A and B are shown apart, each in its own frame.
Chain A
Amino acid sequence: MTGKEYRTITDVKGPLVFLNKTEPVAFGEIVSLRLSNGTIKNGQVLDTSDDMVIVQVFEGTAKIDREAGVTFMGDVFKLPVSEDLIGRILDGAGRPRDGGPDIVAEQYDDIIGAAINPYSRRSPHDFIQTGISAIDCCTSLVRGQKLPIFSASGLPHNDIALQIARQAKLTGSDEEFIVVFCAMGITAEEYNFFRADLERTGALEHAVLFVNLADDPAVERIITPRLALTAAEYLAFEKDKHVLVIYTDMTNYCDALRQIGAAREEVPGRRGYPGYMYTDLAMLYERAGLVKGKKGSITQFPILTMPGDDITHPIPDLSGYITEGQIVISRELHQQGIYPPINVLPSLSRLMGSCIGEKTTREDHKSVSDQMYAAYAQGRELRGLVAIVGEDALNERDKQLLEFSGVFEDKFLRQSRDEDRSIEETLDLCWTLMSAIDTKYLVRLDQKWIDKYHPDNRK
């Protein structure tokens, strides 16, 4: 479908190339640029009119001059998809990076993806056991959910993401997740870490990797997650797979978005990020879910690092408004040497109510989770008070709660990187830990669960 080649570039600015006098070019059309040294670069039409066309170049505009040839490919960006994708490593623009052959396409899918009709969605309700107590008990993950990890520089979010990827399973089922891993602007070191780990555990055979590293072109990051999600949608909704999409790091993605916005001289929103960032992020995050008539599912685990640990920064803020909860990683816990350093207090899973209970996890799950949360929250608050008035001023109840908050972190949160706790083990652990508190202070536990599960009554 290639048309003729134009040599009408007028301006090159940042990642953008401006041309005039072309045939009518479609909005979103894919563009191939041939440089005088023979290099081929790819881009996409951002703005088109009779007089001028603006092209965003994925590989960066280095070496592009006004002599470069521009060919419009007559179609929007499509990814060749087939089941052969599984086990492959591709670069940020969808080309093989593992030395393997090109993907033999079963079909070509538009990478922008269409919105799911809200009427055609199915409610998610299958509990995913991650084997991490803090997540399973307090912010339970559901198949079809989008649950980001809010982290910050220097915290072990990658370990947690990998542990989830390794351990995630449905209770009472041996259905495997296909992991679609999407790296945006991470360092080669981080990438090697991910790759080595996936190889070591054999997970790579059930994974597709899309990799854009820190020294790859920033603009390419705009399409990397879209490629990953297109692959995920194909596998989930055409091939009935359950797909877990991990992307890291959303902050780099948003920065690339800002870079393009600035080059287009758009009116910036908060902190220079474009005003349409909410919509743009939604077009990624909303590609999670389950739909009527299809067996597969897409569960998303975006990782983002909060600049300056600030949860009100536009990136975590806008993400939080779209995603169904968040898992917040705490620097304080990390510095205490606790892994995984998940702060359960600001963490939340909006879909938790739909996936826990008698039929899926255990009848006492909700009660236990509420009580653990409440006791820990009160214990943490008391730490502040103790700093002022001293521990002696506390009454018996407060002393027990204060003690509990320490135990919570040391015994409940803390687990090793390959420790896979079943939900039963997690809930039993909760009961063991809570039994240190006098039963009369455990007001959020139903008496019937105390009778059934409290260690004193189980013996």
Chain B
Amino acid sequence: MKNEGLIYRISGPVVTAIDMKAAMYDVVRVGTEGLMGEVIELHGDKAVIQVYEDTSGIRPGEIVVNTGETLSVSLGPGLLTQIYDGIQRPLPTLEKEMGVFLTRGVDADAFDLEKIWTFEPQVSVGDTVVGGQVVGHVQETDTIVHKIMAVPGMGGVVKSIESGDFNVTQTICTFEDGSDMQMMQKWPVRTPRPYQQKYPPVIPLVTGTRILDFLFPLAKGGAAGIPGPFGSGKTVTQQSLAKYSDAQLVVYIGCGERGNEMTEVLDEFPHLIDPNTGKPLMERTVMIANTSNMPVAAREASVYTGITIAEYYRDMGYDVALMADSTSRWAEAMREISSRLEEMPGEEGYPAYLSTRIAEFYERAGRVETLNGEDGSITVIGAVSPPGGDISEPVSQGTLRIVKVFWGLDAGLARQRHFPAINWLNSYSLYPQSLDQWFRDKIAQDFPEVRVELSGLLQIESELQEIVQLVGSDSLPADQQLTLEVARMIREYFLQQNAFHEVDAYCDIDLQYKMAKAILSFQEAAKNAMASGAQLNDVVNVPSRSDLMRGRLNKGYIDIIDDMVKTMCEEIAATVEEN
């Protein structure tokens, strides 16, 4: 057997080759146009290949060449600010080569191989370097220092290393054993990059979205699932996480979604400023766009391409956030390939290995000690698009079994224009226990207690609402009516947040705490006043309360909120005397 074979059969994106030496996951070039594909099944002397480009017009008998490599991504300076398709071809380059429509058979380097970077060594001649160790760095963007690491598994005693200007393929370092290294390295996407050990997650990923940070926090290195029917705001939520979360780097995977949505991101991100660094968001972002009409096999690969890039930056010691929108489209790509392979299906036609693949993907998240001995993390946030919004389906269930944070989007809330439409009754986070110490130390000693109080009030509200549905709110006792009023304040003042408002879109975590306390202050002041004979109506309608609530839309709110709360409490206390 040799490295070349012939096409035997073509069925959509699945091509079968015969007479070719092949191993699982080898990358092959299919047909006279050399379309990229990957071996996904071996069957006697036949190799089954999924092809990453459109296969129409290809004939049996055309040549297939096995490259002998596995599907890999190129890693090195120049990744940031790029926008790729599912197999790491830069879309701007493809536009230059093909025009506005994607044709096929074009190869493109993942980044500019000729660009000169100024390399600064961090090791000296005679030092022993192990795989994963940092040997030097270049300044990739204003905010990100790109550390050059030895490929895991390689290394040796440094024979020569120099500072200076290099492109990514020039040798920057040689070893005594004769091997050398360049700034660019390749890594197979389906193999997780190694690390020393996983740490428990103890630091929250602060997103600036109140309901997420306060009620259902996500840890750096954690994994979250956002399931929701169409129109409930999955993409908006993902995008505001990409914009405002305090990760140092963001990998955004648009997997099988709308073309116009990606265009929006591309138009918007270069003009948006990262609230944490004051630099354009694009400088910390790598984008992967494999829209719904692009080849389905490349969609399957896109999430692996994305997470491998994320792991590479994690290995430099960065906190990386990865958004995958939507993992359901990824699962559907697996289903489509699987059915072409005529595999025995599991639930709803999905392959039986669906939940394993989902689990393996999310397991690549985590806060780790890198091979270089630093802390780095990947936080994965996966959108799920369950058919009809029913999360009993396999992708949602496979996701919920593995992620520790569930942000459930709700069509009903979206219809009421309550955004973010995250249902506070069925969403959950399993991280508070490990994160509470951080919140106590950094924000406020009673932070966890405040959270419990708010969610308790919302829970009571939902019970009271059932009674109200039957008898009307007027028949409830005054204290319960007050509880409803407080819960309404939580919903309208705290949970609702306008992702498109210049001030409201991002809420500082300190301010979140102050706002939560303001609600509790209102509750207490109102209770006291009512105990002394004040009327609920008067207490609720003090003008300073609506000033307080509306104030959150103004800049500098954090500086005046304490005074506003004080004024409100005084006005409420004054309602006692009026009676």
Residues on A close to B: CB < 8 A? Answer: 24-29, 46-50, 75-76, 112-124, 144-145, 237, 266-270, 275-276, 278-279, 282-283, 286-287, 289, 291-294, 311-314, 317-318, 320-322, 324-326, 345-346, 348, 350-351, 353, 370, 373-374, 377, 388-389, 393
Residues of B within 8 A of A286 (CB): 258-259, 291-293
B103 within 8 A of A: yes
Residues of B within 8 A of A353 (CB): 500
Residues of B within 8 A of A114 (CB): 54, 101-103
Known: A118-B262, A276-B336, A348-B231. 20 other contacts (CB 8 A): A26-B10, A28-B55, A47-B9, A48-B59, A49-B16, A50-B8, A112-B56, A118-B259, A118-B266, A118-B291, A119-B289, A121-B259, A145-B260, A269-B335, A270-B387, A279-B333, A282-B256, A282-B293, A322-B258, A325-B231
Closest chain B CB from A405 CB (angstroms): 15
Residues of A within 8 A of B339 (CB): 266-267, 275-276
A320 near B231 with CB under 8 A, answer yes
- One digit per residue, 1 when the CB lies within 8 angstroms of any chain A CB and 0 when it does not, for chain B 254-279 equals 10101110111011000000000000
Q: How far apart are the CA atoms of A325 and B259 in the complex, in Å?
A: 14
Q: How far apart are the CA atoms of A289 and B101 in the complex, in Å?
A: 12
B378 within 8 A of A: no
B91 within 8 A of A: yes
Closest chain A CB from B107 CB (angstroms): 16
Q: How far apart are the CA atoms of A49 and B43 in the complex, in Å?
A: 15
Q: Given contacts A48-B10, A321-B230, are A26 and B56 in contact (CB under 8 A)?
A: yes
Q: How far apart are the CA atoms of A112 and B294 in the complex, in Å?
A: 12
Can you offer 17 A-B residue contacts whose CB atoms are under 8 A?
Answer: A26-B59, A27-B10, A50-B8, A116-B101, A116-B259, A119-B266, A123-B260, A123-B267, A267-B339, A270-B348, A278-B329, A279-B293, A279-B336, A312-B389, A322-B258, A348-B231, A388-B470
Residues on B close to A: CB < 8 A? Answer: 8-12, 16, 54-62, 83, 91-92, 94-95, 98-103, 229-231, 254, 256, 258-260, 262-264, 266-267, 289, 291-294, 296, 329, 332-333, 335-336, 339, 345, 348-349, 385, 387-390, 415-417, 470, 472, 500
Residues of A within 8 A of B230 (CB): 317, 320-321
From A289, A314, A324, give the contact of B387 (CB < 8 A): A314
Ordered nearest first, which 9 A-B pairs have the shortest CB separation?
Answer: A312-B388, A28-B56, A49-B9, A282-B292, A119-B91, A114-B101, A120-B100, A286-B293, A27-B10
Residues of B within 8 A of A75 (CB): 57
Closest chain B CB from A345 CB (angstroms): 6
B416 near A377 with CB under 8 A, answer yes
Closest chain B CB from A200 CB (angstroms): 35
Closest chain A CB from B433 CB (angstroms): 35
B9 near A50 with CB under 8 A, answer yes
A283 near B293 with CB under 8 A, answer yes
Q: How far apart are the CA atoms of A46 and B56 in the complex, in Å?
A: 10
Closest chain A CB from B325 CB (angstroms): 11
Closest chain A CB from B178 CB (angstroms): 42
From B62, B100, B349, B500, give the contact of A275 (CB < 8 A): B349
Q: Given contacts A279-B292, A351-B260, are A119 and B336 in contact (CB under 8 A)?
A: no
Residues of B within 8 A of A115 (CB): 101-102, 259, 291, 293-294
B263 near A122 with CB under 8 A, answer yes
Closest chain B CB from A346 CB (angstroms): 7
Residues of A within 8 A of B289 (CB): 118-119
Q: How far apart are the CA atoms of A286 and B257 in the complex, in Å?
A: 10
Residues of B within 8 A of A278 (CB): 256, 292, 329, 332
Closest chain B CB from A305 CB (angstroms): 17
With both beta carbons as reference points, the residue of chain A lying nearest to B416 in the complex is identified as: A377
A47 near B101 with CB under 8 A, answer no
A275 near B336 with CB under 8 A, answer yes
Q: How far apart are the CA atoms of A373 and B264 in the complex, in Å?
A: 25
